[in-house]
């Protein structure tokens, strides 16, 4: 059970996630968080050393939330194909995101540069972990005879992640989800070609 202080800190983080996802790291200031939480500066600074500490912890939570949600969709599948299709289907509508403002992985990735090295590394780790998990799933599918050995799991995992993340951004900018459905259909069809 969380203490009152832990509950308050969690409330601050959960309230700040959509702010950061919509406005970006540079676009959010302490006053935005105070206004959204209706807390005092003293309360906020009792839980965080400053804006950088708050930003890092908010990004940690946002990345964990989206990673957990994707994993939950993936592991609903009974077969490796179904798991990969679950990953793709998670992205089928770029406008229906469970955290307002789009995909926090991509949003954070495009915001960070050398000014935010700690956060940049956190996003890189999420991308690497996601690709490694997809690679492992695809390799398992090859090993268990679900897919042909002609499938390169490392290349295909990268293609999946790069395609859907890029597709999300393009669809949001063009204000249409239709190309994403075509992209997902194409990626599924390509994976089907490796089925045994």
Q: What CATH number does residue 69 fall under?
A: 1.10.357.10
Q: 159 by DSSP, 3-state: which?
A: helix
Per-residue pLDDT at 61 exceeds 80 = yes
* Other CB atoms within 10 Å distance of the CB of residue 142: 19
State the total domains in the chain: 1
Per-residue pLDDT at 126 exceeds 90 = yes
The 10s digit of each residue's pLDDT in 66-108 is 999 999 999 999 999 999 999 999 999 988 887 888 888 888 9
Please state the rounded mean pLDDT for residues 34-45.
95
Mean pLDDT, the chain, rounded, equals 94
> What predicted TM-score, i.e. pTM, was given to this entire model?
0.90
Range of the domain at 183: 4-192
71 burial level (CB within 10 Å; 0-12, 13-18, 19+):
middle
pLDDT at 21: 93
């Amino acid at each position: 059970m969380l203490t009152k202080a832990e509950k308050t800190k969690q409330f601050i983080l959960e309230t700040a996630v959509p702010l950061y996802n919509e406005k970006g790291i540079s676009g959010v200031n302490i006053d935005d968080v105070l206004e959204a939480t209706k807390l005092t500066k003293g309360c906020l600074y009792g839980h965080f050393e400053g804006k950088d500490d708050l930003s890092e912890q908010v990004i940690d939570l946002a990345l964990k939330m989206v990673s957990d949600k994707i994993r939950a969709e993936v592991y609903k599948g009974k077969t490796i194909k179904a798991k990969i299709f679950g990953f793709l289907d998670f992205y089928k509508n770029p406008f229906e995101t469970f955290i307002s403002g789009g995909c926090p992985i991509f949003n954070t990735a495009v915001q960070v540069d050398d000014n935010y090295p700690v956060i940049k590394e956190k996003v890189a780790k999420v991308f690497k972990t996601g690709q490694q998990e997809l690679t492992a799933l695809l390799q398992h599918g090859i090993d268990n005879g679900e897919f042909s050995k002609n499938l390169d799991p490392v290349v295909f995992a990268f293609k999946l992640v790069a395609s859907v993340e890029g597709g999300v951004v393009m669809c949001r900018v063009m204000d249409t989800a239709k190309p994403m459905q075509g992209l997902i259909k194409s990626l599924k069809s390509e994976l089907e070609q490796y089925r045994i």
